[in-house]
Structure 1
Amino acid sequence: MLAIYGTSGLMYRGPIEDLRRVLPSLRAGRPRALHVDIDRPDFADSAFRVAAAPEHGERPAHALPRPAAVAVQAYGEVQHPAPQRHPLERVRDVMTRAVVTVTDTMPVAEGWRTLAERGLGQAPVLDAAGQLIGLLTRAELLSVERLPRPQDSALVWRAFMAQPLATVMVTPVPAVTPDTLLRRLALVLLETGLPGLPVVDEAGALGGFVSRSDLLKAVVHDPPLDLWAG
Structure 2
Amino acid sequence: MLAIYGTSGLMYRGPIEELRRVLPTLRSARLRPLAVEVDRPDFADSGFRVPPRAGGDAQGGAPAPALPRTAAVAMQAYGDVQHPPVTRHPLERVQDVMTRDVVTVQEQLPVAEGWRLLAERDVGQAPVLDGAGRLIGLLTRAELLSPEHLPRPQDSALVWRAFLAQPLSSIMVTPVPAVTPETPLRRLALALLATGLPGLPVVDDGEALIGFVSRSDILKAVVHDPPLDLWAG
- Shared fold, TM over 0.5: yes
Normalising by structure 1, what TM-score?
0.85
- From 45, 56, 59, the equivalent of 2:57 is 59
Counterpart residue identity of residue 165, structure 1: L
Q: Hey, what does 2:12 align to over in structure 1?
A: 12
Say whether the 8 Å CA contact 1:6–1:173 is kept in structure 2.
Answer: yes
Say whether the 8 Å CA contact 1:34–1:139 is kept in structure 2.
Answer: no
For residues 133-148 of structure 1, what are the structure 2 equivalents within 5 Å? Answer: 133-148=136-151
Say whether the 8 Å CA contact 2:33–2:193 is kept in structure 1.
Answer: no
- Structure 2: distance between partners of 1:23 and 1:65: 68
Say whether the 8 Å CA contact 1:176–1:199 is kept in structure 2.
Answer: yes
Counterpart residue identity of residue 11, structure 1: M
Does residue 23 of the first structure (1) align with residue 23 of the second (2)? yes
Does residue 213 of the first structure (1) align with residue 216 of the second (2)? yes
- From 155, 158, 166, the equivalent of 2:158 is 155
Q: Percent identity?
A: 75
Q: Hey, what does 1:170 align to over in structure 2?
A: 173
Say whether the 8 Å CA contact 1:100–1:123 is kept in structure 2.
Answer: yes
Shift of 1:152: 1.1
Q: Give the gaps of 5 or more residues in structure 1.
A: 36-49
C-alpha spacing 1:66/1:119, structure 2 compared with 1 (3 Å): farther
Q: Secondary structure in 2 aligned to 1:136?
A: strand
C-alpha spacing 1:64/1:92, structure 2 compared with 1 (3 Å): farther
Does residue 193 of the first structure (1) align with residue 204 of the second (2)? no
Deviates more, 1:144-153 or 1:127-136: 144-153
- From 86, 92, 95, the equivalent of 1:92 is 95
C-alpha spacing 1:32/1:53, structure 2 compared with 1 (3 Å): same
Q: CA RMSD in A?
A: 2.6
Does residue 121 of the first structure (1) align with residue 124 of the second (2)? yes
C-alpha spacing 1:151/1:75, structure 2 compared with 1 (3 Å): same
Shift of 1:64: 6.9
C-alpha spacing 1:74/1:133, structure 2 compared with 1 (3 Å): same
Q: Give the gaps of 5 or more residues in structure 2.
A: 35-47
- Structure 2: distance between partners of 1:91 and 1:58: 47
C-alpha spacing 1:83/1:64, structure 2 compared with 1 (3 Å): farther
- Structure 2: distance between partners of 1:57 and 1:190: 52
Q: Hey, what does 2:111 align to over in structure 1?
A: 108
- Structure 2: distance between partners of 1:202 and 1:12: 14
For residues 58-77 of structure 1, what are the structure 2 equivalents within 5 Å? Answer: 58-60=56-58, 67=67, 72=75, 74-77=77-80
- Structure 2: distance between partners of 1:171 and 1:54: 56
C-alpha spacing 1:123/1:56, structure 2 compared with 1 (3 Å): same
Counterpart residue identity of residue 57, structure 2: R
The C-alpha deviation readout for 1:149-180, integer Å capped at 9, x for no partner, is: 11111111110000000001000000000000
- Structure 2: distance between partners of 1:159 and 1:65: 74
Q: Hey, what does 2:32 align to over in structure 1?
A: 33
Say whether the 8 Å CA contact 1:196–1:212 is kept in structure 2.
Answer: yes
- Structure 2: distance between partners of 1:175 and 1:91: 11
Counterpart residue identity of residue 163, structure 2: F
Q: Secondary structure in 2 aligned to 1:130?
A: coil
Q: Secondary structure in 2 aligned to 1:24?
A: helix
- Structure 2: distance between partners of 1:69 and 1:124: 53
Shift of 1:145: 2.1
